[in-house]
A and B are shown apart, each in its own frame.
Chain A
Amino acid sequence: MDTALDKPLELGEPETLHGISGSPGIVVGKVVVFSPLAEGFIRYQLEEGAASKEEQRFLSAVEQAEQSLISLRQQFEGDLADTVAIVDSHIRMIRDRMIVEQSLNLIRQKQINAEWALDLSLRLIKKKFDHIADDYIRSRFADVEYVAQLVAEQLTGQGRSFPAGFAEPVIVVGEDFSPEDTIKMHTDKVLGFLTEKGGATSHTAIVARSLGLPAVVGVADITQLCRTGDTVILDGYNGRVCLHPTMDQQQLHLEYDRQHRAFSDEMSWYIHLASETVDGLRMRLSANIEIPNELESVIYYGADGIGLFRSEFGYFQCRQLPSEEDLFTVYRDMVAALSPQPVTIRTLDVGGDKLAAHLPNSGLHFARERNPALGLRSIRFSLREQDLFITQLRALLRASGHGRLRILLPLISSLNELRQTRAVIDKVMEQLTQEGIPFNAETEIGIMIEVPSAVVMADTLAVEVDFFSIGTNDLIQYALAIDRGNEYVASMYDPLHPAVLRMINQTIEAGHRQGIEVSLCGEMAGDVFTAPVLLGLGLDELSMRPSAIPHVKRLLRHSTFGRLTALAKQLLNCGDSSETKALLKQYLTDNYPDQFADNERA
């Protein structure tokens, strides 16, 4: 593939841009810019004779996009006349010659790929629209962009335009990358991530951390400011990006990275030590993982098991839904590899819209969600699409005999929902028994505590489950009404808000009164700044990205449980997060001076 990487570098002035640290590490490398048009969009010249194939690919993308609009329209038929009219005009627009003919001409004349041609067409249309004085008509360009986006999604959905063919590893730049995007990229060719949108807990950041790749997120206009082929320094420790760096700057940053890595080497001492305080209190430090390949780092970093395996990735890797056999193989291998340590697998935790492409009977409920975080997702989706859920449960239960597997149900918000889910599980167990397939009938079943209603009702929920796992990423989001992906409010997403700490405490107390284990598996578990509080609250297990385990273990091994509990008690009485942060900072500098004395965090 002939990419723009081969073009000579254009020299510009060094310039430093600020964003948010998404994942630590420093890399220097060339960037590949994914245009905002669609994630996964890239420009390349076609091979000789490939144009007519490319035209076909473009046309079928238009057709599929049109079909998706038509089925969307059918859902609205009857009411919502305004919506139908808009969808109708989009249907008309998608076949417009300024989009279709123009793109086809560009593909043929310039011998470029369909995505590139579509993007060029869009720019030409934009030029025309920019001249329009009338605000209302000019703003209709948004509709043009929307339909182009639909076509682009169809094009990139085929997964061909991801950087599979890069000769050298690159830094990928885009608006934001969804987990599906990331999985489609060949991560061995990715040095780091740089995005326009998102906060420290955006998907890009989470995935980057789990891959151990540096990421800087929330850099305004970055897709415009740098071009494919530019060299940048990506500083994931400080959330900084340096465009057009001088050789000296590059050297300096690499040296800084080397020092950080030396610190990490010291961390490796802790990998083989037990997770316990000075006074001998043990706590499980386990791993959160996204893909089975991470098993290696789970073992490498000395995790005490897997506290959270996000099982959704198996569902996005191929165009087809995974079979029971596929899932079973993955689960069994993982459980067997870590036995006797526990492996906690969370059942499917996505919105239905994400899987719509795979589902044959995707009916009404896959219309665009107005409010996805509050919509048909997670356990609600599983209960609605029970065939899908049953397949996963069968695979899980079949794997349960090969080690210690724990099933984790996400987003439970009421006792009724829990009972409905358990009824499905019971049914599956019955089926398996009848079929004579072996499984562990005592498989532990737990729930995520991530909806505020579950915190309030934790005492009643605790009676009917085997363990709790507090999912702070979503809990904080729901409790504080903050969308962590929204760059305007992301700074208010605050793990140290006293309300959050009290909710965690309440859940732990409710669980322990019933004698069940309580774990916590949000980002805050792996943050050495927030981990001491969690250790002090008396959790049985903290689950985090594998590479954070030695850091938290080091902290744990330098602590006494008495002090940690005293700290937690103090923080629970704070009225505001400025107080909790000040207290915590004081505690850290007093107790771990070597690590925190000159660290200006918080």
Chain B
Amino acid sequence: MKFSEFILYLFVMAGVTYLVRMLPLVLVKHKIENRFIRSFLYYVPYAVLAVMTVPGIFYSSSYLISAIIGFCVAMILAYFEKGLLPVALCACAAVLITELLIPLLT
């Protein structure tokens, strides 16, 4: 990709992201009362992150099996509310250990 093409993408991406944040902060002076909109905006972040995580996580490492193990470790630790960084690092460690073991076992 040429850098000029990248800059065009960057401009659009940053522009939209900024406008979404800026316009309400400058224009809206009262709270959104509509219950449907409030509810919709409550669910959106969870739905977005869920869509991006599954099945993407299963293709995030060199082997499917190591990614599945990393996913399981993350789910278990997240269930026990261990925090962002511990969950992420333990998932990475699980993937690393699995991938170091794979050549020994096959």
Verify that A and B bind, or say they do not. no
